[in-house]
Structure 1
Amino acid sequence: MTRAQRILEWYRTLEINVDLPAHIDVLNPYKEMSDSTYAALQEFYERYYSDERPRKLLMGINPGRLGAGLTGIPFTDTPALESIGIEMPEVNTTETSADFVWRVVEAYGGPEAFFGEWFIGGVSPLGFIQKNDKGNWVNFNYYDSPDVQKMLTPFIIEQIQIQKELVGGADKLVLFGTGKNLKAIGNLNKEHDWFVQIDALEHPRFVMQYRRKRIPEYLEKFVATLNM
């Protein structure tokens, strides 16, 4: 199997067997994915990962409901897919995090250069939503509740190990999230000794929401970190 085939097989079998609180639900875009959406997902990974070259590992927190929670491709929305000529006709979504990450991809040298060297995954490759006081479903990060984080820790440990193996045994990690995400993964890394080095970058959503006027500065910082 090529790396692309192994990635796709992993996605097809992703499942969380945890009895989460009633107000929290799992975002699993790969479950009952339509044929056309899966075809686009398959086209993406076969285009960039149909080889055996090892990749470096970049991880986000967990998919959001407007990005990978719909497309199945981390930090990728409809405009990003359209920019590389991939149509996902049943999905029409935009996400600020995807916007920034694809600016990073371009600044790095374009999709072929970036995905030829990097794989983007997630501490949890499946996302979460919770019902707020108004009855609306909103994004939920795995660390937003200590109890939920504890419940999810066995799944997270398993998935980090799987992703490390999928990319060819990466011994370094670039992580999106300099706060709670870094603390959680730093602590787990001390126990499991996955990575000799973890470099944390601000989460793309933080940059787009709170540092938008400084996007060129952050692009330079992100590309420099990825090139280290």
Structure 2
Amino acid sequence: MTTFADKAIPYYNTLKAPTHLPTGVGVMNPYEQSEVQDIVSQFYTKFYCDHTPRVFVLGINPGRFGAGVTGISFTTPQNLRRYCGIENNLRDTPELSSRFIYQIVEAFGGAEAFYGRFFLSSLFPLALTKNGKNYNFYDDRITTESLWPAITETVRAQLAFGSDRRVAVCLGRKNETYLRRLNDQQGFFERIVTLDHPRYILQYRSKDIDAYADRYITTLADCLVD
């Protein structure tokens, strides 16, 4: 019987970028790089080499300094080393979301404990850019609609890794609109709970970070209750 890792590794390491994007919207595909392919193999072999269904925690699309570099959701090169124990030669990058997420990971007992129950991913698996900055798939209607088939297939394919479909955690209030639309169309999850996006918290609510962290921890823990 194939494990979560057996399915995830070839999925990521053969990902292809879409070829029909609106003018000015770029896409980053780190999975074409041999070092990232090795990181993906190490990460999923270390944390997902089993058959335990995970609760999916879904962001928007990766940032250019997190998974856009490492191929691991919400994870910078330095956090990959520090928290996941995976050495790499990638250049350290600034990423607010990663800093917050690994505060939550540590609160759950570290990477092994956290990833043993949760799967961090995004509705669209590759980083998008415009004018050299992060871009979200929902930032304009044409981009949203052009990527909607890929978004649908992304979530469908990843569910096959090994998912707990009773609940999905959505990161981002605006992102919730699109995940609910997708779920209404496809019936992927029984219910969806939403948390504020880590980037929003760090940029605009940093004074309340402890309260937001508590909300994350409580919400995620509730998702594990049978």
TM range (shorter): over 0.9
Residue number in structure 2 paired with 1:3: 4
CA contact (8 A) 1:24 1:130 kept: yes
2:176 pairs with 1:182: yes
**1:7-40 alpha-carbon deviations (Å, 9 max, x no partner):** 1100022124341123111111102x13x33323
Counterparts in 2 of 1:122 and 1:58: CA distance versus 1, 3 Å: same
CA contact (8 A) 1:171 1:194 kept: no
**1:45-65 alpha-carbon deviations (Å, 9 max, x no partner):** 111001111111111100111
Matches within 5 A, 1:102-117: 102-117=102-117
CA distance in 2: counterparts of 1:159 and 1:44, whole angstroms: 19
CA distance in 2: counterparts of 1:54 and 1:172, whole angstroms: 12
**In structure 1, what residue type is equivalent to 2:135?**
F
Residue number in structure 2 paired with 1:134: none
Residue number in structure 2 paired with 1:64: 63
- Name the stretch that deviates more: 104-113 or 168-177: 168-177
Residue number in structure 2 paired with 1:145: 140
CA contact (8 A) 1:56 1:167 kept: no
Counterparts in 2 of 1:72 and 1:43: CA distance versus 1, 3 Å: same
2:224 pairs with 1:223: no
CA distance in 2: counterparts of 1:116 and 1:169, whole angstroms: 12
SS of aligned partner of 1:8: helix
**In structure 1, what residue type is equivalent to 2:110?**
G
Runs of 4+ in 1 over 4 A off after TM superposition: none
Q: Taking structure 2 as the reference length, what is the TM-score of the superposition?
A: 0.92
Of residues 159, 162, 172, the one that matches 2:157 is 162
Residue number in structure 1 paired with 2:38: 39
CA distance in 1: counterparts of 2:179 and 2:71, whole angstroms: 23
CA distance in 1: counterparts of 2:214 and 2:90, whole angstroms: 34
- Name the stretch that deviates more: 170-179 or 96-105: 170-179
Aligned residues: 220
**In structure 2, what residue type is equivalent to 1:188?**
L
RMSD, aligned CA: 1.4
**1:158-182 alpha-carbon deviations (Å, 9 max, x no partner):** 1111122212352311010112x11
Counterparts in 2 of 1:188 and 1:126: CA distance versus 1, 3 Å: same
Residue number in structure 1 paired with 2:23: 22
2:173 pairs with 1:172: no
Tell me, which stretches of 5 or more residues in structure 2 are unaligned? none
Identity of aligned residues (%): 36
CA distance in 2: counterparts of 1:99 and 1:38, whole angstroms: 23
Matches within 5 A, 1:88-127: 88-127=88-127
**In structure 1, what residue type is equivalent to 2:93?**
T
